[in-house]
Amino acid sequence: MQNSVLILDFGSQYTQLIARRVRELNIFCEIKPYNHLPEDLSDYKAVILSGSPHSVRSEPVLHPDLSQIRAKKPVLGVCYGAQYLAHFNGGEVAPSKIREYGRANLAFIEEDSKLFDGIPLNSQVWMSHSDTIKSLPDGVTKLASTDDVEFAAYRFEEESTYGIQFHPEVYHSKDGKKLLENFLVKIAGLSQSWTPNNFVDMTVQSLKEQLQGDKVVLGLSGGVDSSVAAILLHKAIGSNLHCIFVNNGLLRKNEFEQVLEQYEGMGLNVKGVDASARFLKALAGEEEPEKKRKIIGKVFIEVFDDEAHQISDVKWLGQGTIYPDVIESVSVTGGPSATIKSHHNVGGLPDFMKLKVVEPLKMLFKDEVRRVGASMNMEANLLGRHPFPGPGLGIRILGDITVEKVRMLQEVDAIFINGLKEWGLYDKVWQAGAMLLPVNSVGVMGDERTYEKCVALRAVESTDGMTADWVNLPYAFLQKTSNEIINKVKGVNRVVYDISSKPPATIEWE
């Protein structure tokens, strides 16, 4: 990667957004913790310092080693990054007298500034900080101000080092993407050549060199990530890729047969394994969510390992790991991150599998995976498929799992998802599903009292699942769906709709 951007992460909630905006400019970038810089910086043509929940005035200070960066590569400090560059070069950073959070407008822009080229006066920006820059170091020029923030942007006169107090990466900064483009293209001289076709060509060539014709086994899920990973590997090694699709008994209604049929038309070497009875037996009586996840993961590895051993000379395990999985597995401070729930891709393999791991998508965000798939002419209905959790319906059935509960939820889920498609709502939703709750409620059907299950419907909009908002589905749709579920699914007499956002809730209930 001779045309890359290095983003140093100081723990900001917006760091991934910086990366996304850079990628949208068709420029490749990587996020690294501020205290774990790559040893070789030669591929990076520019560096961006992220924001942070920390203060440059507090101990311990987050001190990156910029000795091989400053005055050698263009640098852009964002929020904390700007305060850091000012504070530790002779400027002053102090607590803000007023809360500087939310929308603001640029009241001053330095003429002939490359950073603000094409950005109008009064352009809206987004502030989010409790400290402010009171004075700039010597040899630093002010580039922009708002009514409340005098030093909203600045430049070191003897080097291509810039600082901005606002966040250009968020939607509310109307010309933020233009500013990033000015910095990366006009100042740092990067070319905008990071495209899906470019990624496919580069990745296939890299896979050929990495794998050297070895056999790879890959677990397909029917989802976007594993499918795109499979096509990339197939382009690199052809029939030496062996795909396994395991039915854990917790898939959607008829999904096992439908997915296998879909893969047949893609030219992949796929084996379907129905291990549903094995999974359901292992889960019998277990109610605790994290234990259910671990049981499902453990049995999957056992089944997968059994099947992999039937293929001779397998050297590699292919995985559909994507960039958010990688980022979240590395803490900014070097310590362990809090475990919200177990992830199925990051975390290594059991020692007994003895396989090396290959991850063709580990540098891509979810939307980039879809664009790469589209560039390889993959079917739109596969690329547009909603994310589905690795443990499947096992974490949408709250409490213990039985064959009857699975059947019930499969029927409910099918009515909900098919309804979204029929009403033209499916593609407007990022993820949708139904949860079977561990409670019974009283109802009346045919003048008789019932005491049956309650299901919760869930539909969210998101970009990558890191945050999500509930979707305001039409009342008429919810009414029709509720009636159809209660009338057609034996054992359900009540339907509710989940209107919780992430955070504080998660997308799944377990």
Residues recognised as catalytic: 79, 167, 169
User: Please, is 58 exposed, middle or buried when counting C-beta atoms within 10 Å of its C-beta (0-12, 13-18, 19+)?
Assistant: exposed
Distance CA 160, CA 47 (A): 11
CA distances 68 to 41, 179, 185, 457, 506, Å, are 8, 25, 21, 53, 41
In 3-state terms, what secondary structure has residue 161? Answer: strand
| Percent helix, percent strand, percent coil in the chain, to nearest 5 | 30, 25, 40
Q: What is the C-alpha to C-alpha distance for residues 407 and 405, in angstroms, rounded to an integer?
A: 5
- The 3-class SS string of 57-119 reads CCCCCCCCCCCCCCCCCCEEEECHHHHHHHHCCCCEEEEEEEEEEEEEEEEEECCCCCCCCCC
Collapsing DSSP to helix, strand or coil, 499 comes out as coil
Q: At what angle do helices 366-375 and 196-211 cross, to 10 degrees?
A: 90
The three-state secondary structure class of 50 is coil
Backbone torsion region of residue 173, taken as left when φ is above 0, otherwise alpha when ψ lies between -120 and 50, otherwise beta: beta
**Do 218 and 226 contact (CB within 8 A), yes or no?**
yes
The Cα 387–Cα 459 span in angstroms is 12
User: What is the SS3 assignment for 374?
Assistant: helix
Amino acid at 493: N
Three-state DSSP class for 130? strand
